[in-house]
A = this chain, B = another copy of it.
Amino acid sequence: MARARLTRELIVEAAATLLTESTDDITLAQLGEVLGVDPTAFYRHFRDKDALMRAVSDRILSAVTVDLPPPASDWRATVVEICRRLRAAHVGNPRLAELVRSGPPLNRNEFDLTERLLVELRAAGLKPKAATMAYHALIELTVGSAAIDAALAAEPPDARRQTYERWRSAYRLLDPAEYPTSVRLAGQLYQGDAEQRFQFALDCLLDGIAGHVPGSARST
């Protein structure tokens, strides 16, 4: 009767599943239980919990760049798709997102992502400096949108709608003398899907970025 044999892959797999199934932080005890193994067996394969989280985050990011349309077809559509996927990955894994934000794990998938974005931005006609600045801008917006939406995204759609409605009415019920504009626009806040709002933001940002293409109407 062999004892359960672990591998890094098995552990990462189990951790990823556990993470996507709950918003809470993962515990080594849970991990051990799922794997049918003593919680501390884990330390034979990873230096500490942080190392595990890093490995899992890489696995999650792998979904961002797979099967993208070939380069040079439509740079803007490709950028939107990448950002959409990146956002989805962050929204689905808030605890990991926290890690990824705090500093590039500099994993293979992160490099793929950066390369692809830079390629597209260069294809759009941006100069090197503008391309990298635009890259940072896109990442910041995408990550921010995900961070804000992560908490709610875990809940079922109707609970989410209820929460949005609660927030709207918080603004609606303010003192109209002090907050006239908030009261008047309350109904429009948090309107629709969080992903639609992200789409709008991304469109605006890309419009602005397109303005930095040499020869475009509004380039400075």
Contacts and interface: CB of A to CB of B under 8 A. Distances in A.
Contacts of A51: none
A167 to B, nearest CB: 6
Given A151-B102, A181-B119, A140 B133 contact: no
A217 interface: yes
A79 interface: no
Interface size class of A (residues with CB under 8 A): 35 or more
A132 interface: yes
Interface in A141-183: 141-148, 150-152, 163, 167, 170-171, 174, 178-179, 181-182
Question: How many copies of this kind of chain does the complex include?
Answer: 2
Nearest to A175: B111
Contact of A211 (B111, B128, B207, B209): B207
Interface of A: 98, 101-104, 106, 111, 114-115, 118-119, 122, 128-129, 131-137, 139-148, 150-152, 163, 167, 170-171, 174, 178-179, 181-182, 184-185, 188-191, 197-198, 200-201, 203-209, 211-212, 217-218
Contact of A114 (B102, B133, B144, B182): B182
Chain A binding surface SS class: helix
A102 B150 contact: yes
Given A98-B98, A132-B191, A147 B152 contact: no
